[in-house]
């Protein structure tokens, strides 16, 4: 890979230069955002089985976490509050560690086959209150934690990115055999052997089977 040459004079470092290059936002675009979860937004969330959750720590280091469950797994407690269960994962607890340092979070809700998305920004709290855990039980197993998300801004996002990416186009699908395995993504930098990588992938598959909830 050739060395990347970053030329200082072309870097965009303030909004004035950004606007000079890209133009200004129309009033109608700003007006699409609201401070509550409207009825259509509630319906969208109830149909969404997947979202991405971003957070950052006190040093502004960010993280983006995929979250998924049957459609409606994020509950609209009221027009200003969302509840999200924290299911078993890799025990890094990146999101939770960030939230205890900085409450600001963002969510991007997606529905398979639908090209528009819903974006929500707000502040989060973490609870292990049994009364809030109970509604999220699956196979008699409670989540350990629930995120309480206090909504500050919500708005629909247009379909351009999904359409450009052909995300839901069956012709754009790739087989698992074409892409690196999870073990390769996780461990290649540690120079592990092929046999070790295969063993890690087997253990990951077993963990998924036995501890989905």
Q: What residue segments make up the domains of the chain, in order of their start?
A: 13-165, 174-210
Which pair of structure tokens corresponds to residue 16? 């004035």
What does the CA dihedral 131, 132, 135, 137 come to, rounded to 10 degrees? -90
Residue-wise pLDDT tens digits, 37-94:
999 999 999 999 999 999 999 999 999 999 999 999 999 999 999 999 999 888 899 9
Q: What percent of the chain has pLDDT over 70?
A: 100
Average pLDDT over residues 115-142: 96
200, 188 contact by CB (below 8 A): no
Indicate the class that CATH gives domain 13-165.
Answer: mainly beta
- pLDDT greater than 80 at residue 115: yes
- pLDDT greater than 70 at residue 1: no
Q: Which of 105, 112, 109, 122 is nearest to 157 (CA)?
A: 109
Quote the pTM value: 0.91
- pLDDT greater than 90 at residue 8: yes
Residue-wise pLDDT tens digits, 147-161:
999 999 999 999 999
- pLDDT greater than 90 at residue 190: no
- Of residues 196 and 134, the one with the higher pLDDT is 134
What's residue 184's pLDDT?
A: 86
- pLDDT greater than 80 at residue 15: yes
Which pair of structure tokens corresponds to residue 188? 């290649």
């Amino acid at each position: 890979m050739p060395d990347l040459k970053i030329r200082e004079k072309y870097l965009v470092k303030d909004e004035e230069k950004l606007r000079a290059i890209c133009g200004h936002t129309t009033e109608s675009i700003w007006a699409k955002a609201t401070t509550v979860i409207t009825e259509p937004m509630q319906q969208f969330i109830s149909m969404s089985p997947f979202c991405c959750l971003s957070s950052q720590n006190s040093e502004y280091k960010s993280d983006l976490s995929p979250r998924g469950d049957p459609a409606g797994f994020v509950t609209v407690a009221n027009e200003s509050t969302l509840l999200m269960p924290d299911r078993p994962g890799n025990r890094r607890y990146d999101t939770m560690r960030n939230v205890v340092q900085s409450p600001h979070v963002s969510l991007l809700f997606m529905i398979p086959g639908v090209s528009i998305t819903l974006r929500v920004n707000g502040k989060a709290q973490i609870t292990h209150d049994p009364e809030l855990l109970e509604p999220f039980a699956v196979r008699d197993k409670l989540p350990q934690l629930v995120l309480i998300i206090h909504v500050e801004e919500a708005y629909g996002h247009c379909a351009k990115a999904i359409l450009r990416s052909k995300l839901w186009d069956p012709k754009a699908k790739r087989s698992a055999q074409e892409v690196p395995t999870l073990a390769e993504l996780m461990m290649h930098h540690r120079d592990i052997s092929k046999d070790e990588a295969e063993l890690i992938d087997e253990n990951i598959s077993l963990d998924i089977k036995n501890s989905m909830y």
